[in-house]
Amino acid sequence: MWISKTIFNHFKSRLNFTPNYAPLSLLSPRRFASTIAQNPSTFNSIHDANQVIDFPGGTVKFIPEMRFISESSPQRIPCYRVLDDDGQPLANNFVQVSEEVAVRMYSNMVTLQIMDTIFYEAQRQGRISFYATTIGEEAINIASAAALTRDDVIFPQYREPGPLLWRGFTLQEIAHQCFSNKYDNGKGRQMPIHYGSNKHNYFTVASTVATQVPHAVGAAYSLKMDKKDACSITYFGDGGSSEGDFHAALNFAAVMEAPVIFLCRNNGWAISTPTSDQFRSDGVVVKGQAYGVRSIRVDGNDALAIYNAVQAAREMAISEERPVLIEALTYRVGHHSTSDDSTKYRPANEIEWWRLARDPVARFRKWIERNGWWNDMAESELRNSLRQQLLHSIQVAENIEKPPIEDIFNDVYDVPPSNLREQEQWVKDTIKKHPLDYPENISA
């Protein structure tokens, strides 16, 4: 395996990637490759031929005992962590982040918190139709984005507005999308929180679970063919790992040696379905080895652990041309969406414990405060400023007219067929006939 001395010294002893919890310096470079059919001339004797078979993928040894592979190992895969629950580093063998980056990471995590609170309230007031929060998963959102470059392509699920914020997508643009006005990049065709931005290399969110995962592999393979110094990353939940798209994507990525990072947010729940009803494996991380994908389990509520793991995975994906699977253990503190009441299927005290004891934002704040980079005054100023910005953004977005009705029907055909034109006219006539049933700022 080729790996530059700089990369080797940078990452050795930091992270333990599976399989067998091997440190980075001891990871096997071996990749299974197709071989020609067994050639008897390669064996010195009939005895040798009876001991092994030269099968596609490599030589396989014969044994006289019947041995089944266990369905699980005696111990669960360990979880990589940098900061304990009190924000204290467990060791010093991690990539340090500068004060500027750390403060920016924390500010973006707080932005997510306040944004979620205000937009959730706006939905409850009937001002937008839908919303989904990232409460409890702020570290995964922001720290992963901080470890990437702007050239890396992002394929989100629907709980990752953080990378967009990190790359410069404004709060006003967030509000435009949620209110589906004429400045929405999606022209009002998507539900709220289904963001997308070509400018920020962020593919549009789709509600369909895990469909973005194989797309990310295809994009990664394209980057590899074009010899780009970049990778793709796709986010999905534990529920997404139960979809066929996830399994097809891992196999596709391994075989094509695509530089892609699979980041699974294992938050314990796929809406109301617990992980215990989804799989019997040791989480999601073990699924990578079966497909020949290097994998690691990380504390998803530890911003520094996520940052280090994603940065290391990115180096591997690009320099070694290989996929990497990251399982981030976290907890969805908020409801699945505004259409959900999670207290119907999980105890309220469990939610409250995770909110208070394992809050990733509070943990990271303790660390930057110990470094002398943050204080109560900065905290108060940040939260007050963000709240005012968000309220102003909502006021502006709410009063901007909706996209023209034509936008529902264009961008598919170069010349729209007659049946679509008839439908367009029917919609316009209906709005004129029943104006009270439609928003005042929609034009027919």
User: Catalytic residue numbers?
Assistant: 121, 207, 336-337
- Give the number of other Cβ atoms within 10 Å of residue 242's Cβ: 18
Length of the chain: 444
- 270 to each of 127, 239, 247, 368, how far by Cα in Å? 27, 5, 17, 33
HEC sequence for the chain: CCCCHHHHHHHCCCCECECCCCEHHHCCCCCCCCCCCCCHHHCCCHHHHCCEEEECCEEEECCCCCCCCCCCCCCCCCCECCECCCCCECCCCCCCCCHHHHHHHHHHHHHHHHHHHHHHHHHHCCCCCCCCCCCCCHHHHHHHHHCCCCCCEEECCCCCCHHHHHCCCCHHHHHHHHCCCCCCCCCCCCCCCCCCECCCCECCCCCCCCCHHHHHHHHHHHHHHCCCCCCEEEEEEHHHHHCHHHHHHHHHHHHHCCCEEEEEEECCEECCEEHHHCCCCCCCHHHHHHCCCEEEEEECCCHHHHHHHHHHHHHHHHHCCCCEEEEEECCCCCCCCCCCCHHHCCCHHHHHHHHHHCCHHHHHHHHHHHCCCCCHHHHHHHHHHHHHHHHHHHHHHHCCCCCCHHHHCCCCCCCCCHHHHHHHHHHHHHHHHCHHHCCCCCCC
